[in-house]
Structure 1
Amino acid sequence: MEDITVSELKDRLDKGQKFHFLDVREEWEFEEDNLGADNIPLGELPHRISELEEFKDEEIVVHCRSGARSGNAKKFMESKGFSKVRNVPGGILAYRQL
């Protein structure tokens, strides 16, 4: 599935639209600055993928600091059968520049 821009993400968050939102940064990064997503650090994702099973056929937006870890998370999740995963290129760094 196509990636989502930080502008589109901000617009959807501002409007309160429903989608599953996942932050794959480390817990300390998440605690410092979060956008209201669920936090599963990338290194824990393979062991915690079952927590996302109910969203397998729903849109899942994944973000991190810059978009690299979330890009890896997207690839991993797609390999496990998740069909609607969208990465946020630029991550929270780009989001905070809006």
Structure 2
Amino acid sequence: MAPAVLHALVREGRAPRLLDVRTPGEFRTVHIPGSYNVPLATLREHRAELLSHLDEEVVLVCRSGARAAQAEKALAEAGLPNLRVLEGGMNAWEAAGGPANRGAERWDMERQVRLVAGSIVLVTGLVGVFVPGAHLVGTAIGAGLTYAALSNSCAMGVLLSKLPYNRGPRTDIRTVIAELRSTP
């Protein structure tokens, strides 16, 4: 779904259910008002429980659209038919001027991955001058980043998402389901 279309639906009071599949830390930084935070891993684990509470149209949101597409696949496989992905994610939503609730600013996952990967390559390149073979660690990181781009997944991002900085309070699926039940 294009950000402009969703924005129009929100303005008209006809907004679909919005499930934001980013980490709680990313969600706390910025999210669309009225959206529910169900991180991708939680959604995959509890998709059967969510199904009975998502009978209307659902729009899945993440930073750029990649994780939302994975969530769409997981929910579709579980039998949920009315799924859409917010094209371009929160990046496109904000660029289109959509309303957003903001919290404390923090680095997004992509920036963290670039910092960690770049630092490892830099350090192992410098250490490689003195320690033969150390540069191969940087080569392995490069191979991992190449695979991440080709597969549209990122093992380093998954690992970084588990850090306390990114986790924030754990999403309790019972609380999300209770909120879904109580919201018309």
**Normalising to structure 2: TM-score of the pair?**
0.49
Q: Is 1:45–2:43 an aligned residue pair?
A: yes
- The residue type equivalent to 1:33 in the other structure is V
8 Å contact kept, 1:56–1:81: no
Q: Secondary structure at the match of 1:47?
A: helix
Q: Is 1:21–2:18 an aligned residue pair?
A: yes
8 Å contact kept, 2:20–2:36: yes
Gaps of at least 5 residues in structure 2 are 97-184
Output the CA distance in 2 between the equivalents of 1:55 and 1:84: 12
Q: CA deviation at 1:47?
A: 1.8
Match of 2:165 in 1: none
The structure with higher relative contact order (CA 8 Å, sep 6+) is 1
Q: CA deviation at 1:19?
A: 2.1
- The residue type equivalent to 1:13 in the other structure is V
- Aligned runs of 1:6-85 on 2, under 5 Å? 6-35=3-32, 36-85=34-83
Gaps of at least 5 residues in structure 1 are none
Divergent runs of 4+, >4 A: none
State which structure, 1 or 2, has the greater radius of gyration over its C-alpha atoms: 2
Q: Note the alpha carbon deviations across 1:16-37, whole angstroms, 9 max, x for none.
A: 2142110000000101101121
Greater share of residues in strand: 1
Output the CA distance in 1 between the equivalents of 2:4 and 2:37: 21
Output the CA distance in 1 between the equivalents of 2:92 and 2:72: 18
Output the CA distance in 1 between the equivalents of 2:92 and 2:39: 19
Q: Give the % identical residues.
A: 34
The CA RMSD measured in Å over matched residues stands at 1.4
Greater share of residues in helix: 2
In the alignment of these two chains, the number of paired residues is 95
